[in-house]
C-alpha cells in the first residue's frame, strides 16, 4: 500500500457569532491597524468630523444600548403597527430589542426590528431637532436610512441620512420608556450607542463536522490493489483480480476452480478474468449532493478486495435477471471486456468479514455494508431511494451515511449516488 501524507483540511466549526461589543470593537481595531488593504472607502469623514468605519455586519441582528442610560432601543409596548414609538428600556433579551442591520447604498443602513419587522424611522420625515423616532413599513427613503460613525472601540453615533441628525435619548432620560428623538450631533453620551451581536448560534451553527472516511482505508486489501491520498481524495489503483476462486479464471491460474455454488441454473458466460488497470478517485470527505447523479454502467465503486461494484443493470435499462445465472460461487462474473465485478453481495467478503461488515466504497465516498445490521437483516424498505441510511456503524461511531447490500433488486444502490462521485478510468 502507498499512503502519501498530505495536508488534510481541518473541518472547522463556522460561527459568525461575536458575543460582545467589546470583541466587536477589537475586530475593528485589528482591521484598521493590521490590514493594509483595509478598504479606504469605508473610512470617511462625515460633516461632524467623525470617522466612519463600516465594521458592523449587514444581515446580523444586534441589540443597541445607550451609553448614557444603559438602556436598549426598543419598540413601545411591543407594538407591531406603523407609528409605534421608539423608546429605551431595560434589557429583556426579547426580539423587540433586537434589530437587523441591513446594508443600503453608500454605507447607509436600515434597522429592522425583529419583532415587528418594521424600520427605524424619523416621524413625518422631520429634519428638525426633536423629530420623533418611530417604526414604519419599509419606504426605501432617507428618513429610514442611517450612517454609523464609530466614536470609540465599541460605541457608535447613529446619524439619519435625511436630517443628518443623531439618534438621541431625549432630555437625558435614564428611565424605562424614555423617548428617543433626533438631535444635532453633540458628541455626548446620550447620542452614543453600543451594538452587540445577538447570539444566533442555534440558527446558523454548522454540523459538528463532515464525514471523513480516512480511517476505513486500511481495510482495503486485495491482489494488485493500492491507494494513495491526494488532497481531498483517495485514489485507488486496482488490477481488479479477485482474491478468490472462480471458474472464470483461466485454467492455468491456481485460483481457477469449477463452479461450486448452489444455483441449479448456473451457466458460464463466455468471458474470463483478466488484469485491468482501473483508477478510481473517491472523495475522502463525502457529502450529500444537491443533484443525485445516476450510477453509470461499469464501475460505480470498489469492494475492499479491489473488485469493482456494478449497478443493478446488465445494460441500458436491462435488469440482471438473465445475468444472475452466470454469477460464480462468490457471485461475481466478468464482462465482455473481462472486467470481473459484483452486482450483488460478494459472498467471499461477507463469509470472511461478516454479513454486517464494511464491504467497500461507492465512487461518492460513502461506505457499503453487508445485509445485516445489529443482528437484523436489512431490506430495501429500511433504506432511502439511494439504498442507504444514516446510522452508527462499527467503523464510524459518530454515524455516517452508508449503503447496504440487500438480497433484492436494486441490491447495492438505488436511484443514484447519495453524494457526488469522483472519476473512474479504465
Ligand atoms: Zn455483470
Ligand atoms: Zn446501516
* Domains in the chain: ranges and CATH: 21-199 (2.80.10.50), 214-425 (no CATH)
What pLDDT does 23 receive? 34
What pLDDT does 55 receive? 66
Q: How far is the CA of 309 from the centre of ligand 1 (A)?
A: 9
Neighbours of 221 (CB within 10 A): 11
Rounded distance, CA 308 to CA 300, Å?
A: 7
What pLDDT does 209 receive? 59
Grid cell, residue 253, equals: 491460474
Q: How far is the CA of 279 from the centre of ligand 1 (A)?
A: 19
**CA distances (Å), 74 to each of 57, 95, 99, 174, 409, in order?**
20, 9, 9, 14, 62
What pLDDT does 199 receive? 67
Q: How far is the CA of 314 from the centre of ligand 2 (A)?
A: 26
Q: How far is the CA of 273 from the centre of ligand 1 (A)?
A: 12
Q: Which residues pair with 132 in a beta bridge?
A: 181
Q: Could you say which ligand is closest to the alpha carbon of residue 400?
A: 2
Q: Could you say which ligand is closest to the alpha carbon of residue 315?
A: 1
Residues of 133-154 as b/e, b for ≥16 C-beta within 10 angstroms? bbbbeeeeebbbbbbbbbbeeb
Q: How far is the CA of 62 from the centre of ligand 1 (A)?
A: 61
Rounded distance, CA 120 to CA 62, Å?
A: 13
What pLDDT does 59 receive? 84
Q: Could you say which ligand is closest to the alpha carbon of residue 332?
A: 1
Q: How far is the CA of 165 from the centre of ligand 2 (A)?
A: 64
Would you list the DSSP string of 265-277? T----S-------
Rounded distance, CA 243 to CA 246, Å?
A: 10
Q: How far is the CA of 313 from the centre of ligand 2 (A)?
A: 23
3-state secondary structure of 397: coil
Cα-trace Rg, the chain: 33
How many residues in the chain?
426
Q: Could you say which ligand is closest to the alpha carbon of residue 382?
A: 2
Half-sphere exposure of 317 (CA within 13 A, CB side): 0
Q: How far is the CA of 12 from the centre of ligand 2 (A)?
A: 27
Q: How far is the CA of 4 from the centre of ligand 2 (A)?
A: 30
pTM of the model: 0.55
Grid cell, residue 140, equals: 426605501
What pLDDT does 200 receive? 56
Q: Could you say which ligand is closest to the alpha carbon of residue 384?
A: 2
pLDDT in tens, the chain (426 residues): 444 333 333 333 323 333 333 333 333 333 333 333 333 333 344 444 444 444 678 888 999 999 999 999 999 999 999 999 999 999 998 999 999 999 887 789 999 999 999 999 999 999 999 999 999 999 989 999 999 998 887 799 999 999 999 999 999 999 999 999 999 999 999 999 999 988 655 443 334 458 999 999 999 999 999 999 999 999 999 999 999 999 999 999 999 999 999 999 999 999 999 999 999 999 999 999 999 999 999 999 999 999 999 999 998 889 998 899 999 999 999 999 999 999 999 999 999 999 999 999 999 999 999 999 999 999 999 999 999 999 999 999 989 999 999 999 999 999 999 999 999 998
Q: Could you say which ligand is closest to the alpha carbon of residue 319?
A: 1
Rounded distance, CA 271 to CA 250, Å?
A: 10
Q: How far is the CA of 333 from the centre of ligand 1 (A)?
A: 6
Whether the CB-CB separation of 229 and 214 falls below 8 Å is answered with: yes
Neighbours of 281 (CB within 10 A): 16
Rounded distance, CA 213 to CA 9, Å?
A: 13
Rounded distance, CA 409 to CA 414, Å?
A: 8
Would you list the DSSP string of 95-127? GGG-EEEEE-STT-EEEEETTT--EEEEGGG--
Q: Could you say which ligand is closest to the alpha carbon of residue 404?
A: 2
Q: Could you say which ligand is closest to the alpha carbon of residue 333?
A: 1
What pLDDT does 41 receive? 32
Is the link from the previous residue into 410 a cis peptide, with omega within 30 of 0? yes
Q: How far is the CA of 267 from the centre of ligand 1 (A)?
A: 14
What pLDDT does 173 receive? 93
Q: Could you say which ligand is closest to the alpha carbon of residue 343?
A: 1
Rounded distance, CA 191 to CA 170, Å?
A: 10
Q: Could you say which ligand is closest to the alpha carbon of residue 297?
A: 1
Adjacency order of strands within the sheet including 233-241: 223-230, 233-241, 278-283, 424-425
3-state secondary structure of 19: coil
Amino acid at each position: 500500500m502507498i499512503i502519501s501524507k498530505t495536508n488534510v483540511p481541518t473541518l472547522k466549526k463556522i460561527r459568525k457569532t461575536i458575543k460582545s461589543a467589546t470583541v466587536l470593537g477589537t475586530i475593528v481595531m485589528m482591521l484598521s491597524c493590521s490590514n493594509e488593504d483595509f478598504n479606504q472607502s469605508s473610512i470617511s469623514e462625515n460633516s461632524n468630523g467623525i470617522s466612519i468605519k463600516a465594521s458592523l455586519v449587514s444581515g446580523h441582528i444586534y441589540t443597541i444600548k445607550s451609553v448614557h442610560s444603559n438602556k436598549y432601543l426598543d419598540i413601545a409596548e411591543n407594538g407591531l403597527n406603523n407609528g409605534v414609538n421608539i423608546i429605551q428600556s431595560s434589557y429583556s433579551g426579547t426580539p423587540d430589542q433586537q434589530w437587523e442591520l441591513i446594508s443600503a447604498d453608500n454605507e447607509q443602513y436600515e434597522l429592522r426590528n425583529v419583532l415587528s419587522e418594521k424600520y427605524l424611522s424619523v416621524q413625518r420625515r422631520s429634519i428638525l431637532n426633536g423629530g420623533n423616532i418611530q417604526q414604519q413599513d419599509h419606504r426605501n427613503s432617507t428618513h429610514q436610512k442611517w450612517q454609523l460613525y464609530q466614536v470609540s472601540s465599541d460605541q457608535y453615533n447613529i446619524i439619519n441620512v435625511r436630517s443628518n441628525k443623531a439618534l438621541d435619548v431625549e432630555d437625558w432620560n435614564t428611565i424605562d420608556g424614555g423617548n428617543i428623538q433626533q438631535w444635532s450631533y453633540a458628541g455626548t453620551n446620550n447620542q452614543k450607542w453600543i451594538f452587540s451581536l445577538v447570539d444566533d448560534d442555534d440558527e446558523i451553527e454548522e454540523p459538528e463536522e463532515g464525514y471523513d472516511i480516512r480511517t476505513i482505508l486500511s481495510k482495503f486489501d486485495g491482489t494488485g490493489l493500492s491507494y494513495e491520498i491526494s488532497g481531498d481524495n483517495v485514489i485507488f489503483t486496482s488490477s481488479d483480480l479477485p482474491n478468490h476462486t472462480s471458474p472464470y479464471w483461466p485454467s492455468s491460474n491456481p485460483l481457477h476452480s469449477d463452479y461450486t455454488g448452489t444455483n441449479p441454473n448456473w451457466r458460464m458466460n463466455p468471458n474470463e478474468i483478466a488484469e485491468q488497470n482501473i483508477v478510481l478517485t473517491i472523495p475522502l470527505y463525502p457529502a450529500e449532493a444537491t443533484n443525485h447523479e445516476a450510477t453509470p454502467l461499469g464501475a460505480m465503486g470498489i469492494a475492499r478486495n479491489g473488485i469493482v461494484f456494478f449497478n443493478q443493470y446488465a445494460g441500458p435499462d436491462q435488469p440482471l435477471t438473465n445475468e444472475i445465472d452466470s454469477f460464480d460461487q462468490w457471485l461475481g462474473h466478468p464482462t465482455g471486456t473481462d472486467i470481473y465485478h459484483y452486482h450483488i453481495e460478494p459472498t467471499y467478503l461477507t463469509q470472511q468479514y461478516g454479513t454486517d461488515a464494511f464491504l467497500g466504497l461507492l465512487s461518492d465516498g460513502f461506505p457499503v455494508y453487508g445485509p445485516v445490521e445489529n443482528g437484523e437483516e436489512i431490506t430495501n424498505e429500511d433504506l432511502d431511494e439511494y439504498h442507504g441510511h444514516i446510522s452508527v456503524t462499527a467503523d464510524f461511531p459518530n454515524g455516517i451515511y452508508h449503503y447496504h447490500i440487500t438480497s433484492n433488486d436494486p441490491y447495492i444502490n438505488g436511484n443514484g449516488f447519495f453524494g457526488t462521485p469522483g472519476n473512474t478510468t479504465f
